[in-house]
């Protein structure tokens, strides 16, 4: 079945473009519409009810724009609102959660680190996922301030390096051999993180897995696109420059209030 309607993605800001890149790489014929809800970032310090309301608002706009599937390109929104989204809307949803499974399954030190938002680490979904790995020590760390610095265009600042150093040092001391990036903004921090971590510690995120899952669901249900006339559209209610910077290639970015 062919379905040329766009894939819709949303995030609390520019971070979910790390997921968009994986989706576009795997499925270049698909049209996409990305919403960067930067005006409301960070989601990670909001209540579950607030995160659900913002996720509903973003989904309603993506559906108005004709999307065939919604990728919640935000760990915080997924872990706090995916159940409510699926209950309210009929469209298929793909969520993103911290990649605990590959890290815990492959860890040789039986100790892994997870850097994520407060909203993700305190969610029921995350707590349940952790219960599956009773033999793995999981060092959890809230990345306070990291998303805000990225949204403010301060990704390469000294303040960012200092925060990362503070958050990662206890993980190094605990002897982790995997660091799970549990927030879609954090893949943009990999160069700085690599400067701090010993080379033996592997860094993983969920971007590729989300793209594969999206492709699988589309091909099994509502259909993949087959048109070369596809378009990649980005809407932001914050700074178009910060969004353009993380995208690197020049893209169609529109400012819009939502
Ligand atoms: N990109 C969001 C995530 O994956 C960041 C959440 C936030 O805005 O705090 O969790």
Binding site membership of 14 for ligand 1 (Cβ less than 6 Å): no
Residue 191: burial class (beta carbons within 10 Å; 0-12, 13-18, 19+): exposed
Compute, in angstroms, the gap from residue 16 CA to the centroid of ligand 1.
8
Binding site membership of 41 for ligand 1 (Cβ less than 6 Å): yes
From atom 2 of ligand 1, which residue's Cα is the shortest distance away? 74
> What are the beta bridge partners of residue 204?
180
pLDDT at residue 250, as a whole number:
85
Binding site membership of 11 for ligand 1 (Cβ less than 6 Å): yes
Confidence of residue 57 (pLDDT cuts 50, 70, 90): very high
Please state the domain extents for the chain. 7-96+207-255, 100-204
> What are the beta bridge partners of residue 112?
138, 178
User: Alpha helices of the chain — where are they, by DSSP H?
Assistant: 17-26, 48-64, 75-88, 100-106, 118-121, 124-131, 146-151, 158-173, 190-196, 207-220, 240-247
The total number of residues written for the chain in this structure: 258
DSSP letter, residue 187: G
Q: What percent of the chain has pLDDT over 70?
A: 100
Secondary structure (3-state) at 35: strand
pLDDT of residue 227 exceeding 90, the answer is no
Using a cut of 0.75, tell me whether the model's pTM lies above it.
Answer: yes
Distance CA(52)–CA(249), nearest Å, equals: 32
Distance CA(70)–CA(109), nearest Å, equals: 37
Q: Same topology for domains 7-96+207-255 and 100-204, yes or no?
A: yes
pLDDT at residue 131, as a whole number:
95
Question: Tens of pLDDT along 131-159?
Answer: 999 999 999 999 999 999 999 999 999 99
Is 67 one of the annotated active-site residues of the chain?
no
Look up the CATH architecture of domain 100-204.
3-Layer(aba) Sandwich (3.40)
Q: Which atom of ligand 1 is nearest to the CA of 44?
A: 9
Question: Tens of pLDDT along 171-216?
Answer: 999 999 999 999 999 999 999 999 999 999 999 999 999 999 999 9
Distance CA(30)–CA(253), nearest Å, equals: 17
256, 28 Cβ separation under 8 angstroms: no
Is 252 one of the annotated active-site residues of the chain?
no
Distance CA(176)–CA(191), nearest Å, equals: 19
Q: Domain 7-96+207-255 is in which class? A: alpha beta
Q: Which atom of ligand 1 is nearest to the CA of 116?
A: 10
Distances (CA, A) of 209 to 37, 102, 170: 23, 11, 28
Q: Which residue from 11, 116, 120 has its CB within 8 A of the most atoms of ligand 1, so it is best to mutate? A: 11
pLDDT of residue 16 exceeding 90, the answer is yes
Binding site membership of 75 for ligand 1 (Cβ less than 6 Å): yes
pLDDT at residue 12, as a whole number:
97
Q: Which of the residue ranges 102-111, 137-146, 249-258 would you say has the lowest mean pLDDT?
A: 249-258
């Amino acid at each position: 079945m062919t379905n040329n309607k766009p894939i819709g993605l949303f995030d609390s800001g520019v971070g979910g473009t790390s997921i968009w890149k994986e989706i576009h790489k795997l499925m270049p014929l698909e049209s996409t519409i990305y919403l960067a809800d930067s005006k409301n970032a960070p989601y990670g310090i909001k209540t579950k009810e607030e995160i659900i309301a913002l996720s509903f608002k973003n989904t309603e706009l993506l559906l108005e724009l004709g999307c065939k599937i919604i990728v919640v390109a935000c760990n915080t929104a997924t872990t706090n609102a995916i159940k409510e989204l699926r209950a309210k809307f009929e469209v298929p949803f793909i969520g993103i959660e911290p990649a605990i499974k590959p890290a815990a399954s492959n860890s040789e030190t039986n100790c892994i680190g997870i850097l994520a938002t407060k909203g993700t680490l305190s969610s029921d979904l995350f707590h349940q996922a952790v219960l599956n790995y009773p033999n793995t020590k999981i060092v959890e760390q809230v990345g306070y301030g990291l998303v805000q610095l990225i949204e403010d265009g301060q990704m390469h600042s000294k303040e960012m390096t200092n925060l990362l150093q503070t958050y990662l040092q206890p993980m190094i001391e605990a002897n982790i051999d995997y660091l799970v990036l549990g927030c879609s903004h954090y893949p943009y921090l990999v160069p700085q993180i690599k400067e701090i971590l010993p080379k033996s510690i592997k860094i993983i995120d969920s971007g590729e897995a989300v793209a594969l899952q999206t492709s699988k669901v589309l091909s099994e249900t509502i259909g993949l696109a087959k048109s070369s006339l596809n378009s990649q559209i980005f809407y932001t209610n914050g700074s178009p420059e910060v969004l353009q910077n993380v995208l690197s290639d020049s893209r169609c970015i529109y400012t819009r209030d939502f």
